[in-house]
Amino acid sequence: MARLCEGKIAIVTGAGRGIGREHALSLASQGAKVVVNDLGGNVDGSGGDLSPAEQVVQEIKGMGGEAVANGDSVSDWAGAERLINTAIETFGDLNIVVNNAGILRDRMLFSMSEAEWDAVINVHLKGTFAPSRFACVYWREQSKAGKPVSGRIINTTSVSGIYGNPGQTNYGAAKAGIASFTNIAALEMARYGVTVNAVAPVALTRMTEGLGPAPESDEDREKRSPRWIAPIVTWLASDEAAEVTGRIFEASGDVLAVSEGWVRGPKHAPVDDPTVLGPIVAELLAKARKNSGMDGTPGGWPQPRSK
């Protein structure tokens, strides 16, 4: 049976460990040649070490696949361009970009520093934009030259971004931005044969092991394995997913789901007098679905606490 990504050229950012490593191995197992990008930094983004990326490359080669390591920072403009060029110059083309790199600098809003905000926004949001931008330039040029294009961008958002999680205004804002970026980029790139989707993973990794309770059993740990995220990413990277674009999928060992975006809820005729809005807004809110909690269920959003 033919493999899903046979002959495709893929880039996976943040692929030295955790979820990104699973993406790279899965794509390679389905026939893709992979650029394994990882700065090799700590969870907060500090430091750098190419050896995690090189280890994944060796794993792929041990499977009989082809791969090359890249240590550029995805949030660096020139580095993002070099990353895209690495795929083209090494393997002769580019078909798939999986934007997975990320860091955490969690803090309550009133304690968060400018540096903690900027670092997270830079890596997640700019680090999604910059590689995607250079990939889209390449695909647009290919399309205008009359060459067939089947491009795939698969971004990494988060339930923290689309539903909300206290202590993560920086991370959540970046991930919500990535969700909107996905939708708009999908609209812009459809004419060039490029799909843009995103995945909101839930997994136990180096980044998330300090968040929430530890697994209570081997079964619970298995459900939180990052291996559950790679199948949907690999499928979205394939030709089978050519008609799927602008969508966000939640993926974990518990669920695979499509997240639905913002929709207009209950409405009222325009009002030009703020003094009469109280009962009108109360009626609208009474009819509207409450915000979802981290499990995606409407009404699960935590209520504000009084002092």
Q: What is the pLDDT along the chain (307 residues), one digit of tens a residue?
A: 789 999 999 999 999 999 999 999 999 999 999 999 998 866 655 656 789 999 999 999 999 999 999 999 999 999 999 999 999 999 999 999 999 999 989 999 999 999 999 999 999 999 999 999 999 999 999 999 999 999 999 999 999 899 988 899 999 999 999 999 999 999 999 999 999 999 999 865 545 545 555 656 666 666 678 899 999 999 999 999 999 999 999 999 999 999 998 899 999 999 999 999 999 999 999 999 998 988 888 877 665 554 4
Q: What positions carry a catalytic annotation?
A: 171
Q: How many CB atoms lie within 10 A of CB 240?
A: 11
Question: What's the pLDDT at 155?
Answer: 98
Q: Who's near 156: CB < 8 A, 6+ residues apart?
A: 19, 98, 99, 100, 102, 128, 175, 178, 198, 199, 200, 201
pLDDT of residue 53: 96
Angle ∠(203,209,213) on CA atoms, nearest 5: 90
**pLDDT computed for residue 46 by the predictor:** 63
**DSSP assigned state of 133:** H
User: In angstroms, rounded to a whole number, what is the distance separating the alpha carbons of residues 136 and 84?
Assistant: 10
- Tell me, what's the pLDDT at 197? 98
List, edge to edge, every strand of the sheet that includes 151-156.
67-70, 33-37, 9-12, 96-99, 151-156, 194-201, 248-251, 256-259
pLDDT value at residue 207: 52
Q: Which residues contact 183 (CB under 8 A, 6 or more apart)?
A: 246, 261
Task: Report how far residue 117's alpha carbon sits from residue 95's, in angstroms, rounded to the nearest whole number.
Answer: 32
pLDDT score at 297 = 84
Burial of 210 (0-12, 13-18, 19+ CB in 10 A): exposed
In this predicted structure, what is the pLDDT of residue 1? Answer: 76
Write down the domain spans for the chain: 9-259, 265-307
Residue 120's SS3 state is helix
State residue 36 phi and psi, 5-degree precision: -95, 100
* pTM, full prediction: 0.90
CATH 3.10.270.10 given to domain 9-259: no
